[in-house]
A and B are shown apart, each in its own frame.
Chain A
Amino acid sequence: MRKKILIDPVTRIEGHLKVELEIEDGTVVSAKSSGMLYRGLEQILIGRDPRDASQITQRICGVCPVAHGMASSMCLDAAFGISGKIPANAWLVRNIIHASNHIHNSILHFYHLALLDYIDVAKVKKGVSPEMDLVVQFLQRDEKNPFVPRDEEFRFPDQVNQRMVENYLRALDIRRIAQETLAIFGGKMPHQCGIIPGGVTQKVDAGKIENCLGKIKEISEFVNFHYLQDLMDLVKYYPEYSSIGKGCGNLLAYGAFPVPGSPGLEKFQPGGVYYSSGMKVEDINPEKITEAVEYSWYQGSKGHPSNSFPQPDPFKEESYSWIKSPRYDQQVFEVGPLARVLIAYTKNVQPWRGALQEVLDATGLKLNDIISVAGRHLCRGIECNLLLKEVERWLLSIEPAGDFYKDYEIPQESTGLGLTEGARGSVGHWISIKDKKIAHYQVISPTTWNCSPRDSQNNPGPLEQALAGLKIKDEDHPVEAVRIIRSFDPCLACAVQLKSSEKIRAKKFYLWM
């Protein structure tokens, strides 16, 4: 007998997500992922000073504002004709700000968004540490919100469970320190002000470098000692999560963190397109990106983000989401840390290949197992660890006496494209400028790819595919499903945007990736 399970809202993610599962004999036969909020930020951008985009687009998401600030600034650098003239120091500082947001997000996601699905807070004992005493004292309250109600399917042995609960609390401090690391160069978090078109707002002195190094060391200690170990234990005690929630298997990354001084500003984290069919990686061609709106609450044209203008229509029949369906080469692609790490591995780029190989050897997982719930968590941890090391290198490469900013004129007419990686995956910003104002602005965010609804060929999005075929033990507590959903680290505020403007067909998009 077929029936439906509705998970609305999906919590411990960013934003408003609804997931509908159609079940037959305990197995998911079809899933629908719906973004439930529309704000229209791209529409708000039209007619404004182009420079404002680097601040306004950060308000797309308060968890990963930097990726938007970065994509937007790169997009504006390109439109202003100064992409190749950004000082090396500015790239280093931009990279540090950007990477700190990734580091913050990895820790936040694993410990505070995902881990409550696996740990039993009620099982901790008194007298182990001050933090655990605090938990025990809390558990004596009549109302234990927000830690109840909850789904219960816990497997960690007591000792491991206890350590994980302690780390949940420790990680609250560590992720705060990651935000402070960012604020050293970004001014504040969320919604930093350091990255602007042309470079960064402030020169860096020895005091800032020292301050940042200290914080990076503190975060690294936690990541090396606890985070990586906790990930291993997740793989060990929840083994089937290395084989479920696989999804489409096609992976995409634009790449991020340009290395100043390298030929063609090579990226520390390479981009590429990984086709599951051939297990090979090709170079990315942004012209192959299209967006479908068949099942989204929009009317009108579709196509390449530089020249498509659908309008919102909340009453459109057959539609079930505010998220559109971006596709590459007409196919479904997953983005995120999993995509980035696996693409770098397949391209044989260090230190990524070595780091993933080490994890494969330690866990006994095969490469194919990495495309899974556990794989997404593992890759987020691998990335966090490697970025911490790289931030140290970037910091020590800064020349405090050098330039940090390149001045520019806003052109009468221009176009630009900025492609980079947010914590959750690939971020693209497209702009057209006319009469020195924004005429068209388009954003495609990671969760737009990952949580997209069906496209014109009726192909479900990556999350929808990852849920199909899943066996659900207890339909009142579909914990398997929420674990899969959360492994994607959905960010709905990012996913739902809208493009709209006077119709301008961009002549040429300066490519900056």
Chain B
Amino acid sequence: MENNTLRAIWFQAASCTGCTISILNSSSFKVKNLLLDEIVPGHQLCLLFQPTIMAGSGEKVIEVLKEQKTKKDFFLIVEGSIPTKDNGVYGRVGEKTLLEWFQQLASASLGIISLGTCASFGGMFSAAPNPAGCKSVKQVCEESNIEKPIINIPGCPPHPDWFIGTIVHLVNKGIPEIDDISRPLGFYGSLIHENCPRRPYFDKGKFAYKFGEEGCLYLLGCKGPFTNSDCPLRQWNGGTNWLIRNGAPCFGCTEPDFPEKMVPFFERLKDKPERDTQ
């Protein structure tokens, strides 16, 4: 890394901007420090391109992308899945398809962070019948013969700590230890069910049958037994709350099976869904 700066292009494809908003919600690590300060002593993050917060627009910012394509010393952060149907005509920016931009930027990058479940595994917009042919970063890279290190940080949205924690690790120690589907083990290493505060209810067979009732939420559709993340320990929005504490079932959003094999969201899932070839 030149000048101790991690340079990154944040590319939004078929997304809802929820990943961006979630990262802006970071509470332990403040956004102002992420943008303006060193992230660890002697190292800083430079967001060369981030569509939701960047100052410029139009041709000037397209120039930034063009210039970086030749410099080739940036990481690519991808938010959203890539529309590929009919050569990607369903998504365009700066007179090019998102697919073309992605292929060019990915090829020129040092490595890719797939931020959110859409970029990691296809996510919501790739659900049947997948109208725009949306695919994950890994899938498009494989089909386009692009070989780059990829870290997946799934979640709909991903927790800000999962993203910033990974960035800090990257700068400090390099690529973190990941599981078989490229998720950092530090954040995705255990099932929600293993750490769930309602687990004693499950073990005793006390289930909620209606919203607002005490008990394990399994019969109301909780996918905690099939979902890897540290939500029960970390909690959300600065430790304010999280789904199960709020009486809502886990929807399984950090898994490759989200949403397709996690629906109906409010019906119980009997067995661990079999994974499609990822």
Chain A residues at the B interface, C-beta cutoff of 8 Å? 6-16, 18, 36-41, 43-44, 48-49, 51-52, 55-56, 59-63, 65, 108, 112-113, 116, 121, 131, 134-135, 137-138, 141-143, 145-151, 169, 172-173, 175-176, 179-180, 182-191, 193-194, 196, 198-203, 211, 312, 314-315, 322, 403-405, 407, 478, 482, 493, 498
Contact = CB atoms under 8 A, between A and B. Distances in A.
A202 B134 contact: no
B240 interface: yes
Given A48-B263, A65-B16, A180-B240, 7 more contacts: A51-B265, A141-B46, A145-B64, A172-B32, A186-B246, A187-B246, A482-B57
Interface stretch (B83-91, B138-146, B183-191): B83-91
B1 interface: no
A173 B111 CA distance: 31
Interface in B208-243: 210-212, 236-238, 240-243
Given A62-B22, A135-B36, A39 B248 contact: no
A160 to B, nearest CB: 19
B237 to A, nearest CB: 4
* For the complex of A and B, 5 pairs with smallest distance between CB atoms: A62-B18, A40-B131, A187-B246, A202-B247, A193-B248
Given A48-B263, A314-B89, A149 B61 contact: yes
Contacts of A12: 51-55, 57
Contacts of B18: 59, 61-63, 65, 190-191
B15 interface: yes
B37 interface: yes
Interface in B8-48: 12, 14-22, 24-27, 30-33, 35-37, 44, 46-48
B204 interface: no
A37 B90 contact: yes
A49 B130 CA distance: 17
B272 interface: no
Contacts of B14: 37, 39
Contacts of B265: 49, 51-52, 55
Nearest to A179: B25
A62 B16 contact: yes
Nearest to B13: A37
Given A15-B17, A148-B55, A405 B93 contact: no
30 contacts: A6-B58, A9-B62, A11-B51, A12-B52, A15-B17, A37-B98, A38-B90, A39-B131, A43-B129, A52-B259, A55-B251, A59-B18, A63-B17, A65-B16, A134-B36, A141-B44, A145-B64, A146-B48, A148-B56, A149-B61, A150-B60, A172-B32, A176-B237, A183-B237, A186-B246, A187-B242, A188-B236, A190-B16, A190-B18, A314-B89
A190 B47 contact: no
Contacts of A14: 17, 52
Nearest to B125: A39
Contacts of A493: 15-17
Contacts of A51: 264-266
A145 B266 contact: no
B198 to A, nearest CB: 13
Contacts of B86: 314
Contacts of B128: 44
Contacts of A149: 55-56, 60-61, 63-64
B127 interface: yes
Contacts, number: 278
Given A38-B131, A202-B212, A52 B263 contact: yes
Nearest to A134: B36
B104 interface: no
Chain B contact-residue range equals 35 or more
Contact of A10 (B57, B127, B210, B238): B57
B92 interface: yes
A175 B24 contact: yes
B103 interface: no
Contact of A59 (B57, B130, B156): B156
A11 B52 contact: yes
B210 A405 contact: yes
B255 to A, nearest CB: 15
B246 A191 contact: no
B49 interface: yes
Contacts of A11: 51-52, 54-57, 61
Nearest to A46: B129
B124 A41 contact: yes
Contacts of B259: 52, 56
Contacts of A175: 24
A142 B248 CA distance: 47
B94 interface: yes
A491 B181 CA distance: 32
B124 A146 contact: no
A143 B7 contact: yes
Nearest to A314: B89
A405 B131 contact: no
Nearest to A138: B36
Contact of A201 (B32, B56, B125, B212): B212
A148 to B, nearest CB: 6
Contacts of B147: none
